[in-house]
Amino acid sequence: MRRSREALRSIPAVVLGGTGYVAGELLRLIAGHPNFSLAGIMSDSRPGEPVAAAFPHLASAFPHESFKSQAQIETIVEREQATAIFSAAPHGAAATLIDALLLKAEGAGRAPHVVDISADFRFRSATAYEAVYRHAHGAPARLAAFSCAVPEQLRELLTPHVAHPGCFATATLLACVPLLAMGLTTPELFVAAVTGSTGSGRKPSDGTHHPTRHADLYAYSALAHRHAPEIKACALAATGIEAQVAFVPHSGPFARGIHATVQATLRTARDSAQILGALREYYAGSPFVRVSDAAPRVKEVAGSNYAQLSAVSDGRTAAVMCAIDNLNKGAAGGAVQWMNRLYGLPETSGLTAPAPGWT
């Protein structure tokens, strides 16, 4: 049987973000993707060093790949007609780097797509970004070229680039946007979410180092976390409703995953079955979102691009629970899902592997 044109298509991909956990997860997903092929991963601090030295678990996939400098990545985007640029660079640095690469590509008449996983393009204005992150935006003229949303909550993509919401925001938005969009609850949202230690990045600190977190659970930045404004902004974009978000994040004693619980007051009395039915209706046709009567567990999704949702109601309050993998659905997997859409590929390409189950 003749293979489809999509199956034969090969798209060069570059990864920005060096040796971080999200960059490593992007590499793992690209290694198994039917259409994206790695053209380069950038690390200005370690150019020329083997990728396998930073990510030993990827040695079989990239035995001869070395980190590239910014200049080498610029050469790739100038040479290739269309490059998939995945940015896992830190916020504050990503915008300037992406702008430099796009300038090189545009100067050569090329048309790459970018999916940024940092916070740099999540807000519609530089003013909104600067109010949260307390420094000037690195490329304010580029903001209009980016959409920011969870893939399941933006049906029509009108921009050439995408900013993927953060992992906390992804889990929370998956839980709360249907409630708001379908007019089920008032817009006051109370969120408690627990994240694994990989969400804090590769460099340990006193508050994030896994031996410190092991067998412990504690809240941090309660009602003052910087992702709360991002949740609010994305909820507004998805529903047209300005929600109030009371967000309390927690550090959990596991490596991968996020479990979020969103509570809101129902406008009219509805039971648990009705809330579950509304979630199933909203996510009908969304292959990565599963709605279950049973409470979601992190182990059911860790290591995968799937989200598990459930809900309960006492007739006055709805509580929606969501479990995702922070590195995959909340970052690298969501980015690949977006890039699939940007290049007209099936949204599920390279992302349907189930969770391992015993992480």
Contact (CB, 8 A) for 349 and 35: yes
SS3 195: strand
167 included as an active-site residue = yes
- Between the CA atoms of 210, 55, 67 and 102, what dihedral angle is there, to the nearest 10 degrees? -70
SS3 percent helix, strand, coil of the chain, rounded to 5, is: 35, 20, 45
Q: How far apart are CA 354 and CA 357, in angstroms?
A: 8
CA angle, 326 as apex, 320 and 329 as ends, to 5°?
A: 80
Residue where the block lists tokens 């300038």: 103
Q: How far apart are CA 60 and CA 51, in angstroms?
A: 11
List the catalytic residue out of 148, 167, 176, 322.
167
- Token pair of 343, please? 């290049």
SS3 16: strand
- Using the CB atoms, write b or e for 143-161: b if 16+ within 10 Å: beebbbbbbbbbeeeeeeb
Question: In this structure, what DSSP letter does residue 306 have?
Answer: -
CA angle, 276 as apex, 275 and 281 as ends, to 5°?
A: 95
CA angle, 359 as apex, 228 and 261 as ends, to 5°?
A: 30
Contact (CB, 8 A) for 325 and 341: no
DSSP string, 68-104: B-HHHHHHHHHHSSS-EEEE-PPTTTHHHHHHHHHHH
Q: Judging by DSSP bridges, how do beta strands 317-324 and 258-265 pair with one another?
A: antiparallel
Distance of CA 347 to the CA centre of its chain: 15
Residues taking part in catalysis: 167
